[in-house]
Amino acid sequence: EDKVVQSPLSLVVHEGDTVTLNCSYEVTNFRSLLWYKQEKKAPTFLFMLTSSGIEKKSGRLSSILDKKELSSILNITATQTGDSAIYLCAVPRPTMYSGGGADGLTFGKGTHLIIQP
Amino acid sequence: EAQVTQNPRYLITVTGKKLTVTCSQNMNHEYMSWYRQDPGLGLRQIYYSMNVEVTDKGDVPEGYKVSRKEKRNFPLILESPSPNQTSLYFCASSFGPLNTEAFFGQGTRLTVV
């Protein structure tokens, strides 16, 4: 059974700090790993990682995949109160049907990040 | 605007009264899924659909039904809701095989009393 484990589950830091969120996975036929940010509503897409060692960046957020360690990290530098959210890591679950593809996403439980002013 | 629309956003109902949560996407996506999100358990997949008339169970399908008669719509049906189905529900869609970004609806908060 595919498994995605995120740590820490909860994190409280002060504005301006840098945080690192972790995601480890055990999946059959790994293809990609996705990061989402969830505020008080729907998860919104941040990054998709497919190759080991390549960093994806968007402003103060960056993420990197380590296929050897079966893990990924999400870094947020110079945190702001608007970064407060639940950060979700997910991996596609390969389909049993022919033709490739995936049946859905297996999510970790998320990291609840709180940025204090 | 590309979006996934769920309705209703909030619903309080009584045990045993059938209900349907609708989901519609305007991106011509083939893949659609339903998830429920519970504290301490994260997001778990209920059902998914790879195309019209093709649906299959996810991790927690018990007590739910779905249908995919049109590409854009993927309703979630609770024939006889029970209190343990109180949860936050999300519909999601994606263009192709789920190695790409999935777009989520705004969520439906369901309470069954």
**Residue pLDDT, tens place only, A60-112:** 999 999 999 999 999 999 999 999 999 999 998 766 555 555 567 889 999 99
With beta carbons under 8 A apart, name residues in chain B contacting A95: 50, 97
Show which of residues 19-48 on chain A sit within 8 Å of chain B, judged by CB atoms: 31-32, 34, 41-45, 48
Would the CB atoms of B99 and A92 count as touching at under 8 Å? Answer: yes
CA–CA–CA angle A3, B107, B28 (5° rounding): 85
Give the nearest partner residue to A42 out of B45, B56, B107, using CB atoms. Answer: B107
Check residue A92 and give its pLDDT.
85
Q: Do the Cβ atoms of B7 and B106 come closer than 8 Å? A: no
Does the beta-carbon distance from A102 to B90 stay under 8 Å? no
Q: Do A107 and B99 touch (CB under 8 A)?
A: no
A110 at B interface, C-beta within 8 A: yes
A3 compared with A2, residue with greater pLDDT: A3
Instruction: Give the β-pairing of B42-51 and B31-38.
Output: antiparallel
A30-60: pLDDT as tens digits:
888 999 999 988 999 999 998 788 889 999 9
pLDDT in the model for residue A95: 63
What pLDDT score was predicted for residue A56?
Answer: 93
- Chain A residues closer than 8 Å to B106 by CB: 41-42
Looking at residue A69, what is its pLDDT?
A: 92
DSSP code, position A83: G
Structure tokens at A81: 């109160």
Give pLDDT, residue A99: 52
Å between A34 CA and nearest CA of chain B? 8
Closest by Cα among B108, B110, B83, B104 to B22: B108
Q: What's residue B62's pLDDT?
A: 96
How close A45 comes to chain B (CA, Å)? 7
SS3 B9: coil
Q: Is the peptide bond before B75 cis (omega within 30 degrees of 0)?
A: no
Give the CA diameter of chain B: 38
DSSP B79: S
Positions in chain B whose pLDDT score sits under 70: 96-99
pLDDT of residue B3: 92
Contact assignment for B103 to A104 by CB distance below 8 Å: no
Q: Is B27 on the interface with A (CB under 8 A)?
A: no
Residue A101, pLDDT score:
54
Strand partners, A106: A91
pLDDT at A2: 77
Residues of B in contact with A31 (CB under 8 A): 99
Chain B residue numbers touching A107 (CB-CB < 8 A): 35, 42-44
